[in-house]
Structure 1
Amino acid sequence: MILGLLLSPAVASAQSSSSAVEQRVYIQVGGGAQSGSHNLTNTSTFTIYGEQGTIAGAQEYGGGALWNIGGGFRAWRNLHLALNFTRNSDTMDTAVTASVPHPLFLNRPRTANQSIGGLKHEENGFHLAAMWAIPVGENLQFAFGGGPSFVTVKHDFATDARVVEQDAAPNFATVAIQDITLSTADKTAVTINVGAELTYFPFELGDSGKVGATVGFRYAGGTVALPGSTGDVDVKYGGAQFFGAVRVSF
């Protein structure tokens, strides 16, 4: 009897701690932000007046608001298997620079510049993760883990431009960009994600469910080769993701 009295607080404590481990299944909906900024230049070449000219489109993109929707289930003890979908996009300006050979003199190219806005970079990602949950208190849970991510990257390029002479003979001093050709490319890349979450469950939902709030961090990123003007262009994607969500567990 005395032994039973001594053991009963420990058993009660263990039951209280285990109650903080999430129920069998959960879903979450929320959003946040993705950090990071990337740069790229897509260059095409052409031949005129016996020399090579270039048209280059420089872009800066990345970061911004992020949607995060997902769910998971407890597979074994404190091991959860989770799937989250994220989406973010950015609207960017493209600085187009044309270098055009001179019709009369070698190695004396003329330069023209023009900026065009409204081009887009989009990322849609599916993140699989094995997460290990650690009860911190009766209503608080910490989880960490990682897994593969499948990210579809869609990117707009300035691939070509029409350049005209502005000065007549004999000077041929300046040229101007009149029309810019745009193209869109997309590809799905595979990378690795790592992350952590902290979830607080302040509300009960029926007999066995819980409603709470989650804050989390995830890193998933890499480089994907997309077809540009004269070949593949290395396009960086992803970065550090910070998000919050409403979570329902049952």
Structure 2
Amino acid sequence: MQRSAPRLTRILACAALPVMLVVAGCSSDSGSDGGSGGGAGDAAAKGTATATASATPSPTPTVEPAKFAELPQACKALTAKTTSSLVPKAKNAKGTAAASSDLSHRAGCSWNGLEDKGVKGSQYRWLDVSFYRYDSEVSLGSGQERAQENLAKELGKVQATTGAKKLATTSATGIGDEAKTVTYTVRKTDEDFVYASIVARTGNVLVLLSYNGAGYAGAPTPDAKKIVEGATKAAKEAVAAVAAANK
């Protein structure tokens, strides 16, 4: 009974206090010294953690940077030695630049000419090169990916050339990161024109090169193998010019 007197005194004292104080200060007798009584505090802590997590910003989307920022001067991308050998009697030895409103993204140049060989007839040649550069954009993908996608599209266009015969597509090694060569013949002006078109990609730049020729006035049709060799040589120079323009 002596041990119960202090406890009874405390209970009576607490009974005289306001209800909020009783709950806060007098309920300790029934609990232990463990941690089971922190319900309200735990809820508040969880709420704060949730708010903090919600306030954390989402990572900013990123995309692989484009490899090349510039294009070469198209009419200077091929050496004079190469253009003169592929188009011996070009109307404009320096090449004719293609129209472009943005030379940092699109550029091109062409050469054409008719070499008169007298009684042996004449040989006609046409050479052109085009460059397309793609920037990296979060909504569209990296420049390299965009160039790859457009390589497939441009290749499809070449393969769908109207009137093309003996069409064949092969992989071209040693030209940029990837390249395809399309060969075919087209009959026009009563002559057979032999074509070699190369679609190549180097980084985020697409290089399109076409070389073709025909024999006139009794001259023989150009050898398809030589046309491919000429196109390959020019395409390699064009790809190298892209890298040189970005040094």
Task: Give the TM-score range, shorter chain.
Answer: under 0.3
Larger gyration radius, structure 1 or structure 2: 2
- The structure whose residues are more often helix, as a share, is 2
| Higher strand residue share | 1
Larger relative contact order (CA 8 Å, sep ≥ 6): 1
